[in-house]
């Protein structure tokens, strides 16, 4: 089965914007008498696929801002319990989310855990660059084993719990030897993040953190990649073929053949759309979003929400789509020297 265009004429920019915002949960809020609870938070995370976290905490941590933009006021402790279950060290726990790498450091539904197993295996079997050379050194291999055995015996630990005389280089990239070992074990899936204390990672064994109900069977690389690309396009609503992999931080050389296969099997549908500058581009939508795209084109999906967005919001993850759809360039200047900032250290875009 091969997919065909939905219509011969390009979809208008307003329809593309409406679909993108609807799929991101940014078109409107469901109002009610009660504050959104854990289920509403979990549903919102699943709708966008995964939520980025970051060390910057002006206004509020990025993951909390991302949910606030969609849900309004809610209890951030409910969000934390979905990820950490108050640090419960048992396979019978209430966690529904976990931390790992996706677009960046992200909070991800545990239903997607198995689809990150190939990435964990790749880290374990073939890390590249300085990480690989570091992991291959005999003294570091011993350190990795010692750290893992210590946590097996003594329970969850932070990097700060391991003594070192080396000077700390900062809260995020503190590459003292024990932390390098912890990062290696975490990237490899041999440790997971059980909790956070003042944003510091607390590591433990997967069997003490990942609930029993989670599928841990290993998919092959193409199955995992295709699955993540499908989630990405559902969440994006509509984008160019090259942008689908941006959402899950997949290299375009890796995503290209998988995207073509998903087009060929009918999961992804081709269309043309008009950009904010009047140009026309080849785009994709997921077959699950075809009906929504038609509603958007008919004016039945018009967004009504005005809100602030985190600079790390998933609405911006498809590279250049902000400019293509909205004529707006999201710029984060926190890491720029003050003298060259145009807007300021930390600005929240207004939707």
| 161 found inside a domain | yes
| 247 found inside a domain | no
| 229 found inside a domain | no
Q: How far apart are CA 15 and CA 119, in angstroms?
A: 36
| 261 found inside a domain | no
Q: What is the pLDDT of residue 336?
A: 87
Q: What is the pLDDT of residue 164?
A: 58
Quick one: average pLDDT of 285-294? 97
| 198 found inside a domain | yes
Among 231, 159, 235, residue whose Cα is nearest residue 198: 159
Specify the pairing of strand 200-204 against strand 192-197.
antiparallel
Cα–Cα separations (whole angstroms), residue 239 to 167, 169, 275: 45, 39, 11
Q: What is the pLDDT of residue 174?
A: 39
Which domain range does residue 200 map to? Answer: 115-208
Question: Kind and range of the H or E element at 269?
Answer: strand 268-274
Q: How far apart are CA 333 and CA 314, in angstroms?
A: 18
Rounded CA Rg of the chain: 21
Q: Give residue-wise pLDDT tens across range 28-49.
A: 887 777 899 999 999 999 999 9
Query: What is the pLDDT confidence band of residue 2, given thresholds at 50, 70 and 90?
Result: very low
Q: What is the pLDDT of residue 173?
A: 40
Q: How far apart are CA 189 and CA 120, in angstroms?
A: 5
- Per the CB < 8 A criterion, the answer to whether 309 and 349 are in contact is yes
Strand partners, 193: 203
CB atoms closer than 10 angstroms to residue 99: 20
Residue 130 burial (10 A CB sphere; 0-12, 13-18, 19+): exposed
Q: How far apart are CA 278 and CA 324, in angstroms?
A: 9
Q: What is the pLDDT of residue 344?
A: 86
Kindly report the CATH number assigned to the domain that includes residue 148: 1.10.10
Residue recorded with tokens 């064994």: 205
- Per the CB < 8 A criterion, the answer to whether 205 and 150 are in contact is no
Q: Give residue-wise pLDDT tens across range 142-165.
A: 889 999 999 999 999 998 888 655
149 alpha carbon, distance to own chain's centre: 30
Which distant-in-sequence residues (6+ apart) come within 8 Å of 106 by Cβ?
50, 51, 52, 53, 99, 100
Strand partners, 109: 97
User: Does 248 have pLDDT greater than 70?
Assistant: yes
Total-model pTM: 0.91
| 178 found inside a domain | yes
* DSSP string of 204-235, one letter each residue: E-GGGTS-TTS--PPPPHHHHHHHHHHHHHHH
Q: What is the pLDDT of residue 104?
A: 92
Q: What is the dihedral of CA 238, 215, 180, 125, to 10 degrees?
A: -90
Residue recorded with tokens 């998919």: 219
Among 258, 285, 260, residue whose Cα is nearest residue 271: 285
> Could you give the number of structural domains in the chain?
1
Q: How far apart are CA 279 and CA 272, in angstroms?
A: 10
Residue 277 burial (10 A CB sphere; 0-12, 13-18, 19+): exposed
Crossing angle of helices 221-236 and 13-23, rounded to 10°: 120
Q: What is the pLDDT of residue 167?
A: 56
Q: How far apart are CA 52 and CA 332, in angstroms?
A: 14
- Per the CB < 8 A criterion, the answer to whether 132 and 144 are in contact is no
Quick one: average pLDDT of 231-252? 97
Query: What is the pLDDT confidence band of residue 168, given thresholds at 50, 70 and 90?
Result: low
Q: What is the dihedral of CA 108, 110, 112, 114, to 10 degrees?
A: 130
| 18 found inside a domain | no
| 150 found inside a domain | yes
Quick one: average pLDDT of 99-114? 97
Specify the pairing of strand 192-197 against strand 268-274.
unpaired
């Amino acid at each position: 089965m091969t997919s065909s265009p939905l219509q011969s004429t390009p979809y208008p920019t307003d329809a593309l914007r409406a679909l993108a915002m609807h799929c991101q949960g940014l078109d409107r809020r469901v109002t009610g008498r009660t504050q959104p609870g854990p289920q509403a938070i979990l549903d919102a995370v699943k709708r966008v696929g995964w939520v980025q976290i970051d060390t910057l905490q002006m206004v509020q941590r990025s993951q909390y801002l991302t949910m606030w933009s969609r849900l309004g006021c809610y209890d951030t402790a409910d969000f934390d319990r979905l990820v950490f279950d108050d640090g419960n060290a048992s396979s019978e726990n209430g966690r529904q989310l976990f931390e790992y790498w996706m677009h960046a450091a992200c909070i991800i539904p545990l239903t997607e855990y198995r689809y990150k197993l190939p990435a964990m295996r790749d880290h374990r079997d073939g890390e590249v660059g300085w990480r690989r050379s570091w992991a291959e050194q005999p003294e570091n291999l011993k350190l990795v084993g010692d750290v893992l055995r210590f946590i097996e015996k003594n329970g969850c630990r932070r990097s700060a719990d391991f003594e070192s005389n080396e000077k700390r280089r900062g809260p995020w990239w503190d590459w003292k030897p024990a932390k390098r070992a912890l990062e290696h074990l975490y990237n490899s899936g041999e440790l997971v993040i059980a909790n956070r204390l003042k944003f510091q990672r607390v590591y433990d064994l997967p069997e003490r953190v990942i609930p029993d109900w989670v599928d841990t069977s290993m998919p092959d690389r193409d199955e995992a990649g295709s699955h993540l690309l499908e989630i990405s396009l559902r969440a994006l609503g509509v984008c160019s073929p090259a942008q689908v992999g941006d959402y899950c931080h997949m290299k375009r050389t890796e995503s290209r053949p998988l995207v073509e296969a998903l087009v060929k099997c009918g999961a992804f549908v081709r269309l043309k759309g008009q950009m904010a500058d009047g140009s026309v581009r080849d785009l994709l939508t997921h077959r699950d979003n075809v009906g929504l795209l038609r509603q958007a084109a008919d004016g039945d999906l018009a967004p009504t929400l005005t809100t602030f967005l985190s600079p790390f919001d998933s609405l911006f993850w498809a590279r250049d789509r902000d400019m293509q759809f909205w004529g707006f360039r999201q710029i984060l200047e926190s890491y720029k020297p003050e003298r060259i900032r145009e807007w300021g250290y930390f600005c929240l875009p207004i939707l």
